[in-house]
Homo-oligomer: A and B are copies of this chain.
Amino acid sequence: MGMVGGGIGAFIGAVHRMAAALDGEIELVCGAFSSDPEKSKVSGARLGLPAERVYGSFEEMIKREKRLEPGKRMQFVSIVTPNHMHYAPANMALQNGFHVICDKPLAFNMKEALALEKTVEKTGLLFALTHNYTGYPMVKQARQMIRHGELGAVRKIVVEYPQGWLSTNLEASGQKQAAWRTDPQRSGIAGAMGDIGTHAENLAEYISGLRIVELCADISTFVPGRQLDDDGNVLLHFENGAKGMLHASQISAGEENNLNIRVYGEKGGLEWHQMEPNTLLVKWLDKPMQVYRTGVGPLYPEAQAHTRIPAGHPEGYLEAFANIYRNFAVCVRAREEGAAPDPVYLDFPSVQDGVRGMQFIERVIQSGKSAKKWLAF
């Protein structure tokens, strides 16, 4: 694996590296960790990489790695830069024969997203987007329960993603994470709705198996001086007639990273909270609620296959993230070996999911400015 971005001090780069390392199946072999070659060098050295494989730019990395022998060069590229720097390295890597795993959202805007989708289709290479929350075993259990009709037809979905860390003008302090996320030049047209709203949208569609077809959004910026949205409330219509609400916020003071979802069907409902991820509440009409737990009892194979340790030994964010990487690695290896991967691992967010995410961002911002109630997705 070669990495683009993720130099020292970056949050998400370190996460990707730990996720990739966990199962001992992926090795970081090279990187272009910063747009500043000097910084890249320092980061690479700290990560224990040989100097010759620490590059000053992603262009250099892709060109030089391509010249190495197949067994020696990186097998895929991991892209962990801010949004405005997803498309160029992803596209170039694909064009040069490297598979790609990329942080979300897919791109800076819809145009880039569609172009990237085309490149993936054209090259036939593997592409994964790290909507990491779909990597949790209990999220997979939820998806399978709905897919197998255990709750009946879905009627209502409530998905929330409140955070509080941008309640003040943190970007003014120069805090790196806050700075790029609130900067339209690097983040795109959306702030909170792009950064975390897309996770919520992706989770709702992943678990329910239903697509959003219409939405009505109320988008706000509460912190004075901020250029992008820091809060959004959205009404949703799903393809089967189900109704929904989505809200995402970075000014919900005191909230940590409280992504959660509830899905109600004709026969029962389910509830999952990212901050207690090994628990899935399943509610029934006039029967006791059940508490499904990672590793306990009869679970769908999709849930079981994404669990590493016995019940009661909590698996967290990094393990879920590692599931995306592991599945991607399984598919890369199967591809190299000309084998079909175990279908249970054929499960990571795709470029198409990424396009839907970008579409969500564009629609939700557009709806926020519109006096019309419903906007087709």
User: A residues near B, CB below 8 A?
Assistant: 11, 14-15, 17-18, 21-24, 28, 47-48, 151, 155-156, 158, 160, 162-165, 167-168, 216, 218, 220, 222, 231, 233, 235, 237, 243-245, 247, 249, 251-258, 262, 264-269, 274-278, 282-293, 295-298, 308-319, 370-374
Contact = CB atoms under 8 A, between A and B. Distances in A.
Contacts of A267: 253
Contacts of A162: 262, 264
B269 A254 contact: yes
A299 B267 CA distance: 20
A372 B310 CA distance: 38
Given A288-B297, A314-B316, 14 more contacts: A14-B308, A22-B22, A155-B222, A156-B249, A156-B252, A220-B243, A254-B264, A254-B282, A257-B311, A274-B312, A277-B314, A288-B291, A289-B293, A289-B296
Contacts of A318: 22, 308-309, 315-316, 318-319
B244 A233 contact: yes
A249 B288 CA distance: 20
A14 to B, nearest CB: 7
14 contacts: A18-B23, A24-B28, A158-B247, A218-B235, A252-B264, A253-B268, A254-B289, A256-B293, A257-B312, A276-B276, A287-B298, A313-B317, A315-B318, A371-B372
A284 B291 CA distance: 11
Contacts of A11: 309-310
Contacts of A308: 14, 18, 318
B257 A310 contact: yes
B167 A285 contact: yes
A170 B233 CA distance: 32
A252 B231 contact: no
Contacts of A288: 282, 290-293, 296-297
Interface centre among A245, A254, A289, by most B CB within 10 Å?
A254
Contacts of A315: 316-318
A290 B290 contact: yes
Contacts of A220: 243
A52 to B, nearest CB: 19
10 closest Cβ pairs, A-B complex: A254-B283, A256-B312, A257-B312, A316-B316, A314-B316, A313-B317, A288-B290, A289-B291, A254-B269, A256-B311
Contacts of A289: 254, 290-291, 293, 296
Contacts of A373: 216, 370-373
